[in-house]
Each structure stands twice: as structure tokens, then as C-alpha cells.
Amino acid sequence: MTEEDGSTGTIKRESFGRLSDGREALLFTLTNKNGMELKLTDFGAAVVSIIAPELSDGRKDMVLGFDDVSGYEATGLYLGATIGRYAGQIKNGSFEIRGAKYDLYRNDHGNTLHGGEKGFDKRLFSAAISEKSNEVVFTYFSPDMEEGFPGNLSVSSGYTLTEDNKVIIRFQAKSDRDTVLNMTNHCYYNLDGHDSGNVMGHSLRICAENYLKVGEDCAPDGEILPVEGSPMDFRTAHAIGDYIEEEDRQLAICGGYDHNWNIDHYGEGMRECAELTGASGRRSLRVFSDLPGLQMYSGNYLNEEETGKGGIRYGFREALCLEPQFYPNAPCYKHFPSPFLKAGETFDHSIVLEFKYKSR
């Protein structure tokens, strides 16, 4: 490929449209020898598409998204985005570090959600391509007190597509002041295709004995509960729709699943968090991470209001999110794994998405 066609090596680079302020966003396409394809944009350091190789039922795009950057700029759904500075809620929009209180923008039930009014999902990142490793690394400088968070923070969100069908996501960051940080990826998965309808027939297994109870404001209230005997028990794989309509206060508060599972064996490095299989059985995803929690969200607020790729309107529960992260609301609870990042220390965490394919 040549500079003239907007590509570098095996990674294609092209325009993804312009933001409302006139800046151009870019689309990057990575492929591997199996025909798997990963599309990324520098706006929000977001995943636009994960396209499976050709199988007996066709070639499927397994994540929700938009055809150009205007959709990502307008949406409040965080589709595919890198989330920060803090994924999930911070209760009452405030936290303390060494007696100093920091107040944040409150955008969800009186809490701060996914970084506030303008989180990383609404920022234009810089991009660097590594042809040798089939990787794109997005970087962003978040100045001190942006959205109320202390510290000049340099962050990177890197995506690698491997020849054995893994997507490796690596987050790195460093701050010049003590701060809090919780980064994740917010892909909406439908392994049967982004346009294939609801995911209630997808099978899910989550490697967790416990989960976080949420209060009436949808934020964790500090209580850790066992999954056993509840609709939150995914230790053995079963369909997402099996128990989602049960009379259960936790499900009622969130309109379905939107909870953090405390992934087993935190502190032991990379370990399996979850395994998802599409209803067709042809495509599956195993999620690995070194982070302590996994937020699973069953697409309860998808409502066909926004038009996605190919003119598709994404409806109720037509995708789900699997987000490895520190616990939501962790700055408020000392018994949760600490999300505090000390000045000069490096935040360095990874997520591995391992895709498997079979025809039948």
C-alpha cells in the first residue's frame, strides 16, 4: 500500500468524517491472515467494527457502531469507546485524596458516570501505527482538573489484532498528581451480527463468585453479595435471557443486568473473566484481563433512537457489554480494590478478547 491511498503497511487509514468543530477523524482497518478485521477510530479511541471471517452464515460484524464519526460525536451510548477518566459511577460526583475533596460533573442519577460531561469517549486522540505488530496506539493528554479530576494525565489506549484472532487492548497512563483512574473498553457485542436482533439467546459464563449490589441510584452501595441462588449466577454458562425477567430488585433497578462481577483470583495477573457464545453457536468470545471487575450490561437502554451502521436502528437488548475494569464507585469504599493512581506511577492494564469461529 502507498501513502497516496491513505494506508500504511497492512493497516489501512482513511477519513472517517469531520467533527462539528471541523477536525477530521480517521478510521483504521487492521486485518489478519484469517480474514478477521478490526476497525478503529481516533475519536474516543473506539472500536468501530470487529468482523469475523466468512462462515456458513456469512461474514458478520460483531459490534454495534456508526458509519462515520458524526454518530460517535452525537451518541450518549459510548459505543466501542475507551472510557475514562473513570469507568462506571462515582457516587455523588465527588471523592477525596488526602483530605482534599474533588467535585465532578454529575450526569447519572446524581453521580458521575464514565468520566462526566465529556469523557475520553468525546476526545480526539492522536494515533500511531505499528505495521510490524499490527497495532494502533491512541494517545491523549488530559490536563489537570479536566472534568474535575486532578493531575496532568497522559494516557494511551492500544489495540493489536493477532494472527490467532485475538484483540489485545492495553491501557497505560501516568499523572503528575495523585488521582483516580479507571479505563475500559465499551464495545456492545452481538456475535451473530450487529443487525441480528436481541442477544437473549447468547450464552454467557462469568468467572465470579460475587457481585456488587447496587442502590436505587444504580451505583454500587458497598455491599458484596454471592451470586449463588440469584439471577447473577453465571458460573455455569446459560442464556442471558434465562433469568433476566425474574422478580428481583437488583434487576428491576437497572432494567436488566448492569452490574459489576468481582472476577475470581484478582492479583494473579491475566485470568479469564467471561465467555460469550452467540445463539448460532458459530462465534464465541473469551475475555481475559488483569483488572478486578467485569461490568456486564445487557443493552437495557437501547431504544432504536439512533441509526447505526448500514441504517440499522439498535433496539432493546440487541447487544451486551463486557467491560473489565476497577469496581464502579471504588473511590468511595476502602474495601474495594484501589483505583487510586499515585503521582509518577504507571497505570498499565490489559484486556484480551479471544474470538473462536466454527461453521455448522
Active-site positions read 186, 323
DSSP assigned state of 232: T
Residue 263 · residue 273 · CB < 8 Å? yes
Do the strands 271-277 and 283-289 form a parallel or antiparallel pair, or are they unpaired? antiparallel
Give the closest residue to 29 by CA, choosing from 122, 124, 129.
129
Burial level of 246, CB count in 10 A (0-12/13-18/19+)?
A: exposed
At residue 11, the 3 state secondary structure works out as strand
DSSP assigned state of 148: G
Residue 351 · residue 324 · CB < 8 Å? yes
At residue 82, the 3 state secondary structure works out as strand
Find the helix or strand (DSSP H, E) in which 118 lies.
Answer: none
Residue 179 CA to residue 346 CA, distance in Å, equals 12
